[in-house]
Amino acid sequence: MTLTRTLGTCYYPEHWPEDIWAEDARRMADLGLTWVRIGEFAWSRLEPAPGDLRLDWMARAIDTLHDAGLRVVLGTPTATPPRWMLDRHPDMVALDAMGRARGFGSRRHYCFSHDGYRAEAVRITTALAKRFGHLVAAWQTDNEYGCHDTIYSYSEPARRAFRDWLAQKYQSTEALNRAWGNVFWSMDYDRFDQVDLPNLTVTEPNPAHALDFRRFSSDQVARFNAAQVAAIRAHSDAPISHNYMGRITEFDHFALGAQMDIATWDSYPLGFLEDRLEEAADHKRRYARQGDPDFQAFHHDLYRAVAARFPGHGTPRWWVMEQQPGPVNWAPHNPAPLPGMVRFWTWEAFAHGAECVSYFRWRQAPFAQEQYHAGLLRPDSVEAEGFHEAAEVARELSAAPLVELSQSPVALMFDYAAAWAWAVQPQGQGCDYFRLVFDIYRGLRKLGLSVDIIPPDADRLDGYKLVLVPGAVTLTAAFQQALATTQAQVILGPRTNAKTAALSIPLPLPPAVPGLDVTVSRVETLRPDMPVKMAGAGHVTLWYEQLDGSAEVLDRDATGRPVTMAAGTLTYVGGWPDADFLRHLLLRGCAKAGIATLDLPPDIRVRQAGATRFVFNHGPDPVDFEGRTLPPAGVTWRDPEN
Ligand code: GAL
């Protein structure tokens, strides 16, 4: 499947005098941009007082952009309810786990469970869809659900909604007590209105209670989004998207993906390296101006999978809605990218199948919170460094091969519910689901592999040769079915199928996968400074399971204790592998699956897109690879013909 590739930018007409809009639009078009996203924070200017809609300026902005030949993505402004909204709905703000109200004066201060606020969100969305639904080429709902830690709210509306959610799920408190194991510590309930949110307890709350709260909170996001989607669809045929963020696991993105035509995400490689990764200081220093070599790629692959949930299209449609164009303002340190990185990041997204890469933002704002955040233009409208790199990509796009999407031989499961289970019951510091999956993703990429992410309810594994399912705490029935029929090599564990859906230990003991006689008879977690040495390469770190059973032992630790056991195409790994042990596991898995691997220099990553192979140098130094020297920020692609 070939894809068209386009560029865009994020523009805030309300930030600039109207007499410069036309010149801005002309410069965007001259730069080679196709798309402009507007509107997502403009509520106070669209409706300065309740009911006083002022949409004409937005109409003029859209006309101006259209006159320059640009296509508009209109954002619903619901991430920034204006100040008057709090007067109308004083209890609409989210409360943090300590019960403190999240204050006005930045953004995302609303609680997903507040019915009054949801109705206001639907009202403004409907007004925009009615007026602009036939004009705009795409929509974005809200902005970055979950950013700034905003999924969980411990408000009164959330408490009421949680009780209703539990009553629907369990039907009786007896069923709830049984599922949660409330006989423990005399936690039984007689009525649903006795159940509180799982905050402010003396010691940890019942993990089943905490897990249900996470499930509920995720459902509230889906419900909030669905209401906007319905309001838009009533008046517009344009495709709908949301801009997801990096390493946000608090809601199920697959559930939202099923609602919308396009999945997009906001890629800030330098901010993420500083702010979202636990890597050692030397790693952060080495990649400070390029970003982590695998973090962006992981999210490209993840959101491609999220996009694939939408039933309407054959090819998953996904974009980068906001691409870092220079230094940002919000990470602990905010260095400038190496020259060439803005172009590099853009091509990396295209190599993973993006339809559009849109730069945040058009012009750097000289006021308010993000003054030191680069744009394509400086505050004085002079072209900034990122502008020239975007221009280079625009030129290259006409000459470069179209990127095809093709299935990868390797599939890696990502399961948001597993992330919640690990978070609720980590059993040891640092035991985090995202980290585990990301370690494995990195290990695969270091061997030159392109990866497809699959959701937890994937019911077909056709075409995959190697499937990895680390840490998926509760396997879905659909996936168990897929497992029973696949020809692929499958690597499970650690902590895969370890719990029931109510987060209890199942009987028979885990992993209870038919055809694989392995039992996890005990679990221990390790200090990060006490890795257990393997008899062969590497170590087990952090999470370590004791395995019994009659399956063949493939790997043992240095004391002879089984760590990996296998039967047929199924392999179970009873510990969190470090990089060396992981490499050994993956090489063996690939050999069994008949997948060729590459011996890559540490800074090099490749991505196979159909017949085209892209090669990226993520390091700060030139690297010799396959007979050519790749400069820092270097990206090349090779077609089968040359
Ligand atoms: C994103 C957000 C933008 C802007 C940007 C700064 O998270 O969607 O509105 O704040 O970060 O990097």
Q: What confidence score (pLDDT) does residue 240 get?
A: 98
Pocket of ligand 1 contains residue 37 by CB under 6 Å: no
At residue 289, the 3 state secondary structure works out as: coil
Q: Which atom of ligand 1 is nearest to the CA of 328?
A: 12
350 lines ligand 1 (CB under 6 A): no
Whether 374 lines ligand 1, by a CB cut-off of 6 Å, is no
Distance in Å, CA 145 to ligand 1 centroid: 12
DSSP type of residue 411: E
Residue position matching structure tokens 């600039």: 16
Give per-residue burial for 84-95: e unless 16+ CB within 10 Å, then b. ebbeebeebbbb
Q: Which of 360, 362, 376 to mutate to test the pocket of ligand 1 (most atoms within 8 A of CB)?
A: 360
DSSP alpha helices (H): ranges in 463-599?
A: 477-485, 579-593
Going 535 to 536 to 542 to 544, the CA torsion angle's sign is negative
Lowest-pLDDT range of 90-94, 179-183, 313-317: 313-317
Using CA atoms, how far apart are residues 125 and 122, in angstroms rounded to an integer? 5
The answer to whether the beta carbons of residues 574 and 493 sit under 8 Å apart is yes
Taking only the tens place, the pLDDT of each residue in 453-504 is 999 999 989 999 999 999 999 999 999 999 999 999 999 999 999 999 999 9
Which of 322, 367, 370, when mutated, tests ligand 1's pocket best, judged by the most ligand atoms within 8 Å of its CB? 322
Q: Does the beta carbon of 212 lie inside 6 Å of ligand 1?
A: no
Pocket test for ligand 1, best of 149, 370, 371 (most atoms within 8 A of CB): 370
| Cα 517 to Cα 526, 566, 579, 593, 638, distances in angstroms | 26, 8, 27, 21, 45
Structure tokens at 35: 């798309």
Considering the domain 34-258 in this protein, what is its CATH number?
3.20.20.80
Tell which atom from ligand 1 comes closest to the C-alpha of 330: 12
Instruction: Establish whether residue 147 lines the binding site of ligand 1, counting it when its CB lies within 6 angstroms of any ligand atom.
Output: yes
User: Is residue 322 in contact with ligand 1, taking CB distance under 6 Å?
Assistant: yes
The finding on whether 365 has its CB within 6 A of some atom of ligand 1 is no
| Rg of the chain in Å (alpha carbons) | 25
The amino acid at 91: D
The gap from C-alpha 476 to its chain's centroid, in whole angstroms, comes to: 21
Query: What percent of the chain is modeled with pLDDT above 70?
Result: 99
411, 466 in Cβ contact below 8 A?
yes
Please indicate whether residue 71 or residue 610 has the higher confidence score (pLDDT).
71
Given a cut of 60, whether residue 280 has pLDDT beyond it is yes
Distance CA 59, CA 51 (A): 18
- What the block records as the tokens of 157 is 């509306």
Which residue type is seen at 26? Answer: R
Smallest CA-to-CA distance from 532 within 489, 572, 561 is with: 561
Q: Which atom of ligand 1 is nearest to the CA of 41?
A: 9
Question: Quick check: 540 and 557 in contact, CB under 8 A?
Answer: yes
Q: What is the DSSP string of 332-344?
A: SS-PPPPTTHHHH
Q: How far is the CA of 11 from the centre of ligand 1 (A)?
A: 12
Q: For the chain, what percentages of helix, strand and coil (3-state, to nearest 5) are there?
A: 35, 20, 45
Q: Is the pTM of this model over 0.85?
A: yes
The CA distance from 460 to 489, in Å, is: 14
SS (H, E, C) 366-377: CCCCCCCCCCCE
Q: By the 8 A CB rule, do 76 and 117 touch? A: no
Using CA positions, which residue lies closest to atom 9 of ligand 1?
Answer: 143
Amino acid 402: pLDDT: 76
Paired tokens of 131:
């007026």
Which residue has the CA at smallest separation from atom 1 of ligand 1?
266
CA of 324 relative to ligand 1 center, distance in Å: 9
Peptide bond before 81: cis, by omega within 30 degrees of 0? no
* Tens of pLDDT, residues 88-124: 999 999 999 999 999 999 999 999 999 999 999 999 9
pLDDT of residue 450: 98
State in words which class domain 410-593 has.
alpha beta
- What's the confidence (pLDDT) of residue 1? 62
Pick the closest to residue 268 from 419, 423, 147 (CA basis): 147
- Please say whether the dihedral angle defined by the alpha carbons of residues 341, 346, 347 and 349, taken in this order, is positive or negative: positive
| Single-letter residue type at 397 | L
Q: Which among 144, 348, 355, 385 is annotated as catalytic?
A: 144
Instruction: Give 26's contacts (C-beta < 8 A, 6+ positions apart).
Output: 68
Name the burial class of residue 30, with classes exposed (0-12), middle (13-18) and buried (19+) by CB atoms within 10 angstroms of its CB.
exposed
Instruction: Please report which confidence band the pLDDT of residue 2 belongs to, taking 50, 70 and 90 as the band edges.
Output: low
Q: Residue 642: is its pLDDT beyond 60?
A: no
Q: Is 144 a catalytic residue?
A: yes
User: Is the CB of residue 266 below 6 angstroms from any atom belonging to ligand 1?
Assistant: yes
Instruction: Indicate the average pLDDT of the chain.
Output: 97
What's the token pair of residue 46? 């669209």
As to burial, measured by CB atoms within 10 angstroms (0-12 exposed, 13-18 middle, 19+ buried), residue 412 is: buried
The yes-or-no verdict on residue 399 having pLDDT over 90 is no
Cis amide prior to 339 (ω within 30 degrees) = no
Residue 422 identity? W
331 lines ligand 1 (CB under 6 A): no
Q: Does any ligand 1 atom lie closer than 6 A to the CB of residue 294?
A: no
Q: What is the largest CA-CA distance in the chain?
A: 77
Name residue 628's beta-bridge partners: 625
Please confirm, yes or no, whether 322 is among the known catalytic residues: yes
DSSP alpha helices (H): ranges in 33-187? 43-46, 56-67, 83-88, 115-132, 156-170, 173-180
Bridge partners, 240 (sequence order): 139
* Whether pLDDT at 547 is above 90: yes
Say whether the peptide bond before residue 379 is cis (omega within 30 degrees of 0).
no
Which one is catalytic: 322, 348, 355, 389?
A: 322
In this structure, the residue with its CA closest to atom 12 of ligand 1 is 328
Confidence of residue 570 (pLDDT cuts 50, 70, 90): very high
Span 603-629, pLDDT tens digits: 999 999 999 999 999 999 999 999 999
Burial of 407 (0-12, 13-18, 19+ CB in 10 A): exposed
Do the beta carbons of residue 271 and residue 245 sit within 8 Å?
no
**CB of 268 sitting under 6 A from ligand 1:** yes
d(CA 10, CA 36): 6
Q: Which amino acid is at 614?
A: F
Using CA atoms, how far apart are residues 140 and 11, in angstroms rounded to an integer? 14
- Could you tell me if the CB of 267 is within 6 A of ligand 1? no
Single out the residue of 524, 528, 586, 616 nearest to residue 561, CA to CA: 524
Q: Look at residue 641 in the predicted model and tell me its pLDDT.
A: 56
pLDDT value at 596 more than 80: yes
- Residue 534 has a pLDDT of 98
Banded model confidence at residue 313, pLDDT cuts 50, 70, 90? confident
Question: Best substitution site from 266, 273, 276 to test ligand 1's pocket, by max atoms within 8 Å of Cβ?
Answer: 266
DSSP per-residue letters across 205-251: PPHHHHHHHHHHHHHHHHHHHHHHHHHHHTT--S-EEEEE-TT--SS
Residue 640 predicted with pLDDT over 70: no
pLDDT surpasses 90 at 601? yes
Say how many Å lie between the CA of residue 58 and the centre of ligand 1.
21
* Planar angle of CA 307, 119, 91, nearest 5 degrees: 110
Domains 34-258 and 410-593 share a fold: no
Nearest CA to ligand 1 atom 5: 360
Cis geometry, peptide bond prior to residue 363 (ω within 30 degrees of 0): no
Q: What is the arithmetic mean of pLDDT over 230-256? A: 98
Domain ranges of the chain: 34-258, 410-593, 604-638
The predicted pLDDT at position 46 comes to 98
* pLDDT greater than 70 at residue 511: yes
Contact yes or no for 607/348 (Cβ under 8 A)? yes
Length of the chain: 642
The reply to whether ligand 1 has any atom less than 6 angstroms from the CB of 145 is no
